[in-house]
Every structure is written in C-alpha cells, then in structure tokens.
Amino acid sequence: MTHYLTPLLLAAALSTTTTTTATAADQAKDVRLYELRTYHAEPGKLNALLTRFRDHTTKLFANHGMTNIGYWVPVDNKDNLLVYLLAYPDRSARDASWAKFLADPEWKNAAAASEKDGSLVAKIDQLFLTATDFSPGFSAATGPGERLFEMRTYTSPAGKLPALHNRFRNHTLALFAKHGLTNIGYFQPVADQPAAGETLLYFLAHKDAAAAQKSWEAFRADPAWVAAKNASEEAAGGSLTVADGIVSIYLKPTDFSPVK
C-alpha cells in the first residue's frame, strides 16, 4: 500500500530534516581560537628549546587548558625556527591559560634551568586565527611514516578574500585531494590581526618532497583547475592574490608534535 504525505506533513518532515542538518552543521563547526606561534631560537639554542618543549612546555600547556595541535621546524631551517599551533575555546580562555602557565612554579623552574647559559629565544611571532568553514581540521597521520607538511599563506587584494575562499571551498580542496595533496587546516586571521580580511593561511601534508612536487605539477596542469582559476578571476575582475602574494614553507613535525 502506498502512503502519501499531506502538504502539512511534508512541510513538517522537511522542517525536521533541515533543523537536524543545521544542528549537526553547527555542532561540527570549529569555533575555537587558534594561535600560530613562531619562535626564533638564539644561535645554537634550537635543540635546547626543543628539549624544553618536549620535556616540560607541551605538558604544562595541556595542564593549563591549551590544546597542542602541531609543532614543526622548517626543512630549510637557516633561521632556527620552531613553529607551533595551539587552540583555545576563545580569547579570554587563552589569556587565562597563559597567565596560569607563566605563573606555574614548574614552568619557572624549567625555564630557569634551561636558560642558565642564556636565553633560548630571540623573538616570538604570534598570529591569532579562526578556522574557515571549509577547513577539514587536523588529524593524526594515516599509514606508516612521517609526513611532510606545507604551510601556505595567501594575500588577496582588498575585498577579494571571499572570492578566494569560494574558489577553495568549491574547487581547490577537491582538486588538491584528487592529486594527492592532503588538506589539513584552513585559517583566517581574526579581525584585530595584521592583514585580517586579506589573508588565507593553510596547511597541507605530503608523503615526502618528491610526492609534493609530483602532486603540485599534476594539480597545476589539471584542466579543471585552470578553468576554475580563470572563471574565478574573471568574475572577480582580476587575480585573487597580490603579486608575490603566495608564501610556502615546508615543515617537518617534531617528535613531540601531536600531528605528524
């Protein structure tokens, strides 16, 4: 026997489905505050800095409510950098966590012991970020071996960041995946940060350097990418990135990084 829904029942069913889907989407949305921190180690002190993070800092961060996401050093690390990403519920939680961390006697002792022969860090850069709505999010590595990460920063002309986001959302991510580029996290600076509204920062993962080169060559030659790029630029009235507005850094995860 065939059953038919009356218009009223059909509307109710659709309303329930829509509400359920919207609720699931809201729950899945990543609304955390992220902080990207880059430490410029003093000459000859990078290993000591890594040891302090490995033995003390990351554990204390977690004790004080910070979420350790990833820790990396550049493959070509002539500037002695440590790059890492933390997450917090929001800015007030971030500030409270850091205040407790810096006041923790265990941290003070660890810092003092590690710096008995001088400071380990010459400069710290920080950038506050939020995830875009198309960010897959960080996850543990699948399969054997350690991945090579790539951090890419795009600077768009004024007013064109939404168009750049649309191209990534509707085309680029799927084409990356098609060609073996693993989408990890996509971020934008919060409103009070430098170049907010003009910057897209994201992470990819590769099997290794050779795989990265092969994937990028295949992606750039894909007619679907060429068509999407041309269509998006025609609609926006020009390029979606400024001249020299794409910066790429290849990164190796540290042995204590949660994501590898």
**Which 8-state DSSP code applies to residue 156?**
P
pLDDT of residue 138: 78
pLDDT of residue 146: 84
- Report how far residue 220's alpha carbon sits from residue 242's, in angstroms, rounded to the nearest whole number: 18
- Report how far residue 111's alpha carbon sits from residue 86's, in angstroms, rounded to the nearest whole number: 20
pLDDT of residue 4: 33
- Report how far residue 130's alpha carbon sits from residue 90's, in angstroms, rounded to the nearest whole number: 10
Considering only CA atoms, give the Rg of the chain.
22
pLDDT of residue 144: 63
pLDDT of residue 253: 96
Give the residue ranges of DSSP H helices in 29-170.
46-52, 58-63, 91-103, 105-114, 161-167
CA–CA–CA angle 71, 75, 186 (5° rounding): 50
**pLDDT mean values, one per 10 residues, the chain (260 residues):** 34 36 53 97 98 98 97 97 98 98 98 97 98 87 78 97 98 98 97 95 97 98 98 98 97 95
What domains sit in the chain, N to C, each tagged with a CATH number? Answer: 33-130 (3.30.70.100), 138-253 (3.30.70.100)
- Report how far residue 134's alpha carbon sits from residue 177's, in angstroms, rounded to the nearest whole number: 14
